[in-house]
Structure 1
Amino acid sequence: MQERIEHDSIGALPVPVDAYYGVQTLRAKQNFYITGKQLHPDLIVSLVQVKKAAAMTNYETGELNKEVADAIIAACNDVISGKYHDQFIVDPIQGGAGTSSNMNANEVVANIAIEKLGGIKGDYSIVHPNDHVNMSQSTNDVYPTAGKITALKLTQKLLFQMERLGEALKQKSIEFDNIIKVGRTQLQDAVPMRLGQAFNAYRSAIDRDTLRLKKTQNELCIVNMGGTAIGTAINANPEYLKRIPVNLKKTTSFNMVLAADLIDATQNLDAFVSVSGALKAAAVTLSKMANDFRLLSSGPKTGFAEINLPPKQNGSSIMPGKINPVIPEVVSQVAFNVIGNDLTITMAAEAGQLELNAFEPVLFYNLFESIETLTNGISTFIDNCITGITANEDRCEELLEHSIVTVTALCPYIGYKEASDIAKESILSGKLVSQIVREKGLLSQEELETILDPSLMTEPMEEQQIS
């Protein structure tokens, strides 16, 4: 393999002659073999979108000549279009607060630009990774900005799926609205409810999670670009700070705004904690819903069996005909992962010291994984489970009829103590609640038909006129 020799502050290192990355990237590759993976492709694009915006701004302020600026912008466009991603070789989890990722982008863009100007890769006298591509920047403003842009991109996809989920649950709530079932607390029979109400409650929770996640998007649009090393804007033209948000919007389509306090924005990662918190809340909602679906479909002969989940695959290698609730199971596993990632993100944000947080790499790795797995988990939940759920109306009616859940409605008319005695007798004797009340002569048949009508127990009612 042919090689070229490149130098950095550590010394010299042979770099493959065809590589668009350089010596600093190669050192990082050698130092950080942690996950064995590449940077997230959206993070690669986001980094280069930041580089493009910086080159545009540096040209506008007169810091970068047109020839070099045009070459850098053209190189960035190539990477943004999907080319050269194989040249981003650093591990996503790395020491150095993201410097390796930033330099990987600087070197790749520089070498593409060099070739566009007729030079040979590694001839940094034409376009230099630090002096030109990284002009007016530091890893400490580039990397967190790219992380926010990436999170914005990924959450757009997640929000789309969450809105789809809300709509799917709404449709089921309408479809099941006339089916009365037993409502349960602590897995014990409680009071009647409509199956549609259960699904509408799931929808309400998802709508709330969606709104919570949307609120975090504004925080992600606040960036510290131009703050450079610690937020004091050293080596950045004052005009650069005014123009860089405008050019970021041009390269990303997001309405990026400069933080009011660049030092704060450089050292604190609470915006990412907010996003992760919203993801965790959504994950909890999803797993609780998945647990309910597993319970409500349990059996099918010896469990609740109030709903049927669509059969997706054989459930056993030994038990013929067994079908497991595999989609709710995988959704819960996604939720567990998101909840675990939230702890990592929290600790990474907490571990920052003084003017910089060095732990963004692991934070981004876990945050992006949470967003993507949640997006994919919700997608399969909708398409392979929720839209295919059917109700066992006869089973719901059977369980309701033989339960004591209607006895609560008697309390205003015969008192808690009498109602409790009737409940106990019904459980021991197997008699229906209405039968025992009639036998005791406590209420007339007409009164019972009104008071013990399960459908009337599922909504607040106007004051009943019963003597």
Structure 2
Amino acid sequence: MERIEKDTFGEISVDASKFWGAQTERSLRNFKIGADKMPLEIIDAFAFLKKACAVVNVSAGKLSEAKGKAIKRACDEILSGKLDEHFPLVVYQTGSGTQTNMNVNEVVAHVASEKSGQKIHPNDDVNMSQSSNDTFPTAMHIAAYQRIQQELLPELDKFERVLKEKKEAFMDVVKIGRTHLQDATPLTLGQEISGYEAMIRRAKRFIEESSKELLPLAIGGTAVGTGINAPTGFGDEVAHELAKLTGAPFISDENKFFALSSHSPLNFVHGALRSLAADLMKIANDIRFLASGPRSGIGEISIPANEPGSSIMPGKVNPTQCEALTMVAAQVMGNDTTIEVASSQGNLELNVYKPVIIFNFLQSVKLLSDGMRSFRMHTLDGLQANEQAIKEKLENSLMLVTALNPHIGYEKAAQIAKAAHENGTTLRAEAVKSGFLTAEEFDEWVDPLKMTNL
């Protein structure tokens, strides 16, 4: 069955079981582009926002208590997840997000009218004192900040904690270092992992600090930033109400013209996400290199065998979690480029690439959170040191000769290393043969553990 809805363009039929109205229906018909829907995180952010606006409009005497109560109840129903099916619009729509704002207005109005028995208008009541131009960027900041706080930062804490545990467990396992993918001086496996731990700790700090830029909100700017049709102080009061509703310290942006036309805060914060992606790419690559083998690679660490690795080579186990995490990192780097380009398109008073910015931003947060969780649970937790392989490679390395530099000089030490390499002998044998030092001196000076400065 269908019902007839009306807007300024006239009548249009809508599936009677759906709660949206004419403008949502027109968007559905006009923008059949891809399968990517507007993220539900944005819908939830809008529900918080519409609820806060209703509270402030009632307080300002612009909206009746009864209508305000009905709107708030409808917003709570959206936040419960019961109405998700009524938000069908794709990302690739109007660049201001107007159609998603109207989708929310129409659904809230429909539910509020039905439950209260009075007529609630999507524009005059639900969208009172607002414009799509200030509500959508406000919802963008709410959604982005909440997902970082509730999803990404907790996983970063867990990821860092596991790295700390592995660092401490392997702090005394001396191994050969590698720079330029070539043998270098020794360090411990724990020291190596401490570098990863520091990367994650700093990435977390970068994200925490930069995400504070998401707290100022555009609401109150209405159409172009002047605040036309909004009561005095509306932005401040709505931000205060949102802070109470969400528990996040949102404030009103001091310059609404900036807040509508620029998305540099989201671009800036995503730069911190891109930096995290780069660190995760490095960590995952290092681990799969160190775990290569089992017999013909480096093989200094073992990672869990989670599933068969090959459809043709029996018994093969691949570093699949490393591969998945590096693909996540690559996607986030691509998202960063999209966000950067889209953020540059703030033409005159309004950026009209808003939906694609927030879609890619939220995807990055989700992928990073899920990717780290999967990698932590299925690789990091089960990572083990292959101490025999580590010992063999350490003892066979020519770079231990570096410990002789302070005693016999760089050139003589280089002669010993070159001779050992050419003759296929040990450093100790060539050192004694050279006459530059005794066997006892070699044993005293070439101590891999001492070379780590632990």
Q: Distance in 2 between matches of 1:192 and 1:234?
A: 67
Q: Distance in 1 between matches of 2:404 and 2:320?
A: 41
Q: Which residue in the other structure is 2:193 paired with?
A: 199
1:50/1:251 contact within 8 Å kept:
no
Q: Distance in 1 between matches of 2:160 and 2:321?
A: 17
Q: CA deviation at 1:163?
A: 1.0
What letter matches 1:108 in structure 2?
A: V
What letter matches 2:350 in structure 1?
A: L
1:266/1:355 contact within 8 Å kept:
yes
* Aligned partner (choices 132, 136, 141) of residue 139 of structure 1: 132
Residues 1:60 and 2:59 aligned together: yes
Residues 1:169 and 2:168 aligned together: no
2:134/2:220 contact within 8 Å kept:
yes
**What TM-score do you get using the length of structure 2 for normalisation?**
0.97
Q: Which residue in the other structure is 2:285 paired with?
A: 291
* Aligned partner (choices 305, 308, 321) of residue 314 of structure 1: 308
Q: Which residue in the other structure is 1:149 paired with?
A: 142
2:171/2:189 contact within 8 Å kept:
yes
Q: Distance in 2 between matches of 1:229 and 1:162?
A: 38
Residues 1:392 and 2:383 aligned together: no
2:321/2:378 contact within 8 Å kept:
yes
Equivalent residues in 2 for 1:221-370 (5 A)? 221-370=215-364
What letter matches 2:33 in structure 1?
A: I
Between stretches 83-92 and 34-43, larger displacement belongs to 34-43
Q: Which residue in the other structure is 2:69 paired with?
A: 70
Q: CA deviation at 1:410?
A: 1.3
2:220/2:235 contact within 8 Å kept:
yes
Q: Distance in 1 between matches of 2:245 and 2:92?
A: 26
Q: CA deviation at 1:28?
A: 0.8
Q: CA deviation at 1:441?
A: 2.3
> Secondary structure of the residue that 1:183 maps to in structure 2?
strand
What letter matches 1:335 in structure 2?
A: A
Q: Distance in 1 between matches of 2:212 and 2:102?
A: 28
Q: CA deviation at 1:30?
A: 1.0
> Secondary structure of the residue that 1:182 maps to in structure 2?
strand
Residues 1:2 and 2:2 aligned together: yes
**Structure 2: runs of 5+ lacking an equivalent:** none
Q: CA deviation at 1:77?
A: 1.1
> Secondary structure of the residue that 1:15 maps to in structure 2?
strand
- Moved segments of 4+, more than 4 Å: none
1:161/1:378 contact within 8 Å kept:
yes
Q: Which residue in the other structure is 1:14 paired with?
A: 13
Q: Which residue in the other structure is 2:100 paired with?
A: 101
Q: CA deviation at 1:92?
A: 2.2
Residues 1:180 and 2:174 aligned together: yes
1:181/1:397 contact within 8 Å kept:
yes
Q: Distance in 2 between matches of 1:117 and 1:386?
A: 54
Q: Distance in 2 between matches of 1:118 and 1:64?
A: 16
Q: Which residue in the other structure is 1:420 paired with?
A: 414
Q: CA RMSD in A?
A: 1.2
Q: Distance in 2 between matches of 1:159 and 1:146?
A: 20
What letter matches 1:153 in structure 2?
A: Q
What letter matches 1:417 in structure 2?
A: E
Q: Distance in 2 between matches of 1:446 and 1:407?
A: 15
Q: Distance in 2 between matches of 1:242 and 1:318?
A: 64
What letter matches 1:315 in structure 2?
A: G
> Secondary structure of the residue that 2:71 maps to in structure 1?
helix
What is the aligned residue count?
453
> Secondary structure of the residue that 2:49 maps to in structure 1?
helix
Residue deviations 1:202-241, cap 9 Å, x none? 0001111010011122111111111111111110100323
What letter matches 1:24 in structure 2?
A: Q
After superposition, the Cα gap between the structure-2 partners of 1:227 and 1:324, relative to the gap in structure 1 and judged at 3 Å, is same
What letter matches 1:207 in structure 2?
A: R
Q: CA deviation at 1:448?
A: 2.0
Residue deviations 1:290-334, cap 9 Å, x none? 111111011110110000011011011111111001010100010
Q: Distance in 1 between matches of 2:32 and 2:224?
A: 28
1:140/1:266 contact within 8 Å kept:
yes
2:38/2:355 contact within 8 Å kept:
no
What letter matches 2:74 in structure 1?
A: A
Q: Distance in 2 between matches of 1:85 and 1:35?
A: 19
Q: Which residue in the other structure is 1:378 paired with?
A: 372
**Structure 1: runs of 5+ lacking an equivalent:** 120-125, 461-467
What letter matches 1:318 in structure 2?
A: I
Q: Which residue in the other structure is 2:37 paired with?
A: 38
What letter matches 1:65 in structure 2?
A: S
2:96/2:353 contact within 8 Å kept:
yes
2:95/2:354 contact within 8 Å kept:
no
Between stretches 259-268 and 28-37, larger displacement belongs to 28-37
Q: CA deviation at 1:10?
A: 2.4
The alignment-based identity, stated in percent, is 39
1:404/1:423 contact within 8 Å kept:
yes
